[in-house]
Amino acid sequence: MGLLGARGAGPIPGVATREATLAYSRSRGGAFDPGHYSDFRGQLKLSAIGLGTFPGAADDATDQAIADIVHKGLTSGLNVVDTAAHYRYGRSLRAIGVGLRRALDDGVDRKALWLMSKGGFVTFPGTPLADPAAYIEAEVIAKGLGRPEDCAGTQVLSPEHIRAQIDQSRAALGVETLDAFLIDQPEVQIPVAGKAALIDKLATVFVALEEAVREGAIAYYGVSSFQAFRVATDDPSFLSLASLVALAEKAAKAVGGAERDHHFALIELPFNAVMLEGFSRFNQITGEGGEASTLQAALALKLYTVASHGLFKGHLAKQPVDILVQAMPRLANDAQRALQFNRSTPGLGTTLVGLSTPAHLDDALAVARTPVLSHSAYMALYRRAEN
């Protein structure tokens, strides 16, 4: 029957808690540097390196590899897993679920883990389609999960579609509740519908996400972006963090709560030694109106930051960055230096490492045992780059 035919005994209850994540950081991460765990809103301890599950072929061998790496990572001190409803045609979710149950069987507490998924892009049925638009028409629009105006390429941004992908993610992972669900790259809607229409769509989607929190389907929500948080403010794809927080406050009020009690809690964006905009570009404002980088503004707005593309799709594991080689000569390879750079970045909570290369898990664990760079040593890297 294969890996995808495996079934558990029923949905796994629970979400990450303060007590369980703290206990995990002390036991599973006992040999790690204290900087290996970041504080999520002063409540949770989340590993500074997390498991990403985007890359890889849609085949049984990759399913097995992902399940094995998730199992090893969760039992070794990495308690953050990132995925999306559409990754590998939905197969990544199910493979993670297998690895998750194996980790729980080995004594890992579900409440010590942070499991997050993303949605927006349509999950296609296993292979590239000759006519994706026809599939979306038949399987999304015709079934009442979205309208034609909600579509931008293969993304459908509607409350109904997002809620369906939350349920898809929960079922495939085998859990009752996701710790977080992120809207994936909403900026792709802007060239099609315009920014004002996107903001209107996000307003309705955020209400659906607040409702999902109330129903126990998710604990928090956020936005994952490739461009929107990295570009200059006059770029058409730019999105303001403060504006997103304002949408969340309105959504919380719309479901009968107080504005301050919204559950918009995290963002995800590319960040690495060659994609520095999240730290170096001052394109956001804080809650007090000051100019700041995305990482600084997120910190001021109490948003946890997750970095995608930690190894720049593997390029930083193969092509040395001279400044990093000079600054970290004792680390074993370029992948480790790239991860150490990210986890030393002020304001960055968790850096994701894709699982297409199993050796990168060993690199992540090796870096976790290494003290993070001091603030002065980290900032010196930027001064060297300018000279």
As a whole-number percent, the residues of the chain with pLDDT over 70 amount to 97
pLDDT at 54: 83
Report pLDDT digits (tens) over 63-122.
999 999 999 999 999 999 999 999 999 999 999 999 999 999 999 999 999 999 999 999
| Residue 275 belongs to some domain of the structure | yes
Terminus-to-terminus CA distance in the chain, angstroms? 59
On whether the CB atoms of residues 87 and 57 are closer than 8 A, the answer is no
**How many alpha carbons lie under 13 Å from residue 37 in its C-beta half-sphere?**
27
**Rounded (5°) CA angle 129-132-134:** 115
321, 380, 381, 369: which is closest to 30 by C-alpha? 369
On whether the CB atoms of residues 301 and 262 are closer than 8 A, the answer is no
Report pLDDT digits (tens) over 53-67.
887 889 999 999 999
- Averaged pLDDT score across all residues of the chain: 94
| Residue 362 belongs to some domain of the structure | yes
Q: Position of tokens 């109904």? A: 160
DSSP-assigned beta bridge partners for residue 272: 275
| Residue 17 belongs to some domain of the structure | no
The total number of residues shown for the chain amounts to 387
Q: What secondary structure letter does DSSP report for 236?
A: T
- Pick from 194-203, 214-223, 224-233, 305-314: least confident: 305-314
| Residue 89 belongs to some domain of the structure | yes
Q: Which residues contact 264 (CB under 8 A, 6 or more apart)?
A: 206, 209, 220, 221, 222, 223, 244, 245, 247, 248, 251, 303
Amino acid found at 249: E
- Find the CATH number of the domain harbouring 264: 3.20.20.100
Report pLDDT digits (tens) over 305-335.
999 999 998 899 999 999 999 999 999 999 9
Domain hosting 266: range is 30-386
pLDDT at 30: 87
pLDDT at 29: 86
Report pLDDT digits (tens) over 205-217.
999 999 999 999 9
Report pLDDT digits (tens) over 254-277.
999 999 999 999 999 999 999 999
As a whole-number percent, the residues of the chain with pLDDT over 90 amount to 88
Question: Is the pLDDT confidence value at 11 over 90?
Answer: yes
| Residue 13 belongs to some domain of the structure | no
What's the Cα-to-Cα distance from 132 to each of 140, 169, 223, 288, 373, rounded to whole Å? 11, 21, 24, 44, 46
| Residue 315 belongs to some domain of the structure | yes
333 Rama class: left (phi>0) / alpha (psi -120 to 50) / beta:
beta
| Residue 78 belongs to some domain of the structure | yes
Q: How many domains does the chain have?
A: 1
| Residue 247 belongs to some domain of the structure | yes
pLDDT at 290: 82
